[in-house]
Structure 1
Amino acid sequence: MKKRMNYVIILTMGIALNWALFSSSIAQTEPLGPLMSVTEFTIKPGHEMQFREGIKAWKACYLENKGDWTWRMWQRQQGEGSVFVLASDMANWAEMDKTDESSKKCQDLARTLINPHIEKATSHVTRFQLGMSKGSALTEDIIRVSFYDLNPINGHRLMEVVKEVEGIRKSAGLEPGGYWYQWQTGGPESPSFHHVMPYKDYAAMDIIQEGVWQTVEKNAGKAKRDELQAAFRSSLQNTWNYIYTLDKDISRPSK
């Protein structure tokens, strides 16, 4: 998210980010996709409005100072507490070396109008997985995010299965419906991968579509479906998901 995040919220809160890189056990067969820097904010009870107003004030200051950073702020719709997720694309790790003079001019607003309303902030970096993800950019305002914590023994099978399943779907004329990300940093409770499924609105969730395993069975047979489904399940230690909506007032998806 570039060093600007240090000036916006992270540094001004005095949070030490100890991002430990982990090596992937999955062979890299695709070109490296871009990175995404993500910060999850848990807001103090009853402080959601003040937090949003603080972000609005910071955003206005940043735009006035001709800042070029872009970001999306998502609000989690389920789970405990009020949670917002700030996501920003990075072409590579080198962007972390850059500083943002525009954000420096607005850091006092972050310190006084945003930070007092935050109970906790957790940051991590993920990498977009090319080949098995949707080719077009995300434009929808609602996403369902599924998180995958890998089994220490069979976890390497997850992406093998995903690649094979997407190959079967592609042969059936179907393109990937969502976006896969591999976590590059994280703590003991962090997942290893997550998948983002976009929707234009909540009504789109009511549309019944052919399931992934139905497609596999239809095009590759029941035996292959059972084989891949078993491998997929054995690769996971835990999985969970949430729905997020884009808060447009405190986002800047494009310049």
Structure 2
Amino acid sequence: MKTTRLIMSTFIIAIFCSNILTAQNNEATLLTASEITVKSGHNAQFMEGVKLWKECYLKDKGENNWSMWRRDQGEGNVYVMTGNMPNWAELDKEDERGKDCYMTIVNFIWPHVEKVDQTIAKTMPDYSRSWPDDAKYCRVTYYKVNKGYAFEQVISAVSNSIKEKEGTPRAVWYDFQFGGPESPEYMVVLPFTKYADLDISRDSPAKIYTDAVGEEKADEMWVKWFDTVDDSWSYTFTLMTELSN
């Protein structure tokens, strides 16, 4: 994450790296995410500011990539800037690229930002699919849980049942490593290429697991699920290609 320190030092945008929301080569990687809430009435100015920063960064021959996602539901204008790094050592690396663009952030992005919430999550490749290259949208469900080990037992069993029936898991799972007191413990990300994909009728994960193990064993698993999950919520996000690299 070579440009991370410069961006984080201004409390604005987070971490730039290779590819968004991707579980690579069945090895766990780290997902960095900055949830950016834009001030009311400042959305157009914020977008133009990010475009100016991107133009400056590329002109300065910056080589890192990032993805900017717009949240499609909920209050206000919220964006999530994400990147993926292979290990923690990436945070120790320095990059001179983009430092000439510091004032672009200060003058054209920061004035339009209300707040930034930064998190780091780790992929869970044993339960996850690979990220499709053509995905332009994703559905993200967040979970606050009180027993992480029990939660992972459930998602492992259900994901394996889906994999046995369909050949691969449907989504990408993440385990949050760092975040604030309101941050979730886990999230699952379902990629799709168009909203019409959500109209496709498929058996639910619960049905697939129940069909595989029988109702009695499935009921035991659902008791464990509801005992460990304190809260959950979902949004869909749209990839903003003009703000990404």
Deviations 1:140-182 (A, max 9, x none): 111110001012xx34211111111122223334311110011
Deviations 1:187-242 (A, max 9, x none): 11111000001111111111111111111122211112212122112111111111
- 2:221 alignment counterpart: 228
Deviations 1:63-93 (A, max 9, x none): 1111111111000111111100000111111
- 1:140 alignment counterpart: 135
- 1:205 alignment counterpart: 198
Instruction: Establish whether residue 127 from structure 1 lines up as the match of residue 122 from structure 2.
Output: yes
So what's the TM-score if we normalise by structure 1?
A: 0.86
Say which is worse superposed, 142-151 or 159-168, in terms of deviation. Answer: 159-168
Displacement after TM superposition at 1:135 (Å):
2.9
Q: Aligned AA for 2:187? A: H
- 2:9 alignment counterpart: 11
Structure-2 separation of matches of 1:78 and 1:49: 18
Q: Aligned AA for 1:60? A: E
- 1:168 alignment counterpart: 161
Give the unaligned 5+ runs of structure 2: 14-25
Displacement after TM superposition at 1:59 (Å):
0.5
CA contact (8 A) 1:156 1:235 kept: no
- 1:64 alignment counterpart: 59
Sequence identity of aligned pairs in percent?
35
CA contact (8 A) 2:12 2:113 kept: no
Instruction: Give structure 1 regions of 4+ aligned residues with deviation exceeding 6 angstroms.
Output: none
From 28, 32, 51, the equivalent of 1:33 is 28
For residues 211-222 of structure 1, the aligned pairs below 5 Å read: 211-222=204-215
Displacement after TM superposition at 1:32 (Å):
5.5
Q: Aligned AA for 1:240? A: W
Displacement after TM superposition at 1:103 (Å):
1.6
Structure-1 separation of matches of 2:58 and 2:216: 56
Displacement after TM superposition at 1:138 (Å):
5.5
Deviations 1:101-130 (A, max 9, x none): 112111111111111100001111111111
CA contact (8 A) 1:180 1:194 kept: yes
Structure-1 separation of matches of 2:177 and 2:132: 21
Q: Aligned AA for 1:105? A: D
Q: Aligned AA for 1:156? A: Y
- Aligned-partner SS, 2:10: helix
Provide the aligned length of Structure 1 versus Structure 2: 233
CA contact (8 A) 1:74 1:247 kept: yes
Q: Aligned AA for 2:201? A: I
CA contact (8 A) 1:216 1:224 kept: no
- 1:18 alignment counterpart: none
From 189, 196, 208, the equivalent of 1:196 is 189
Displacement after TM superposition at 1:13 (Å):
3.9
Give the unaligned 5+ runs of structure 1: 16-30
So what's the TM-score if we normalise by structure 2?
A: 0.90
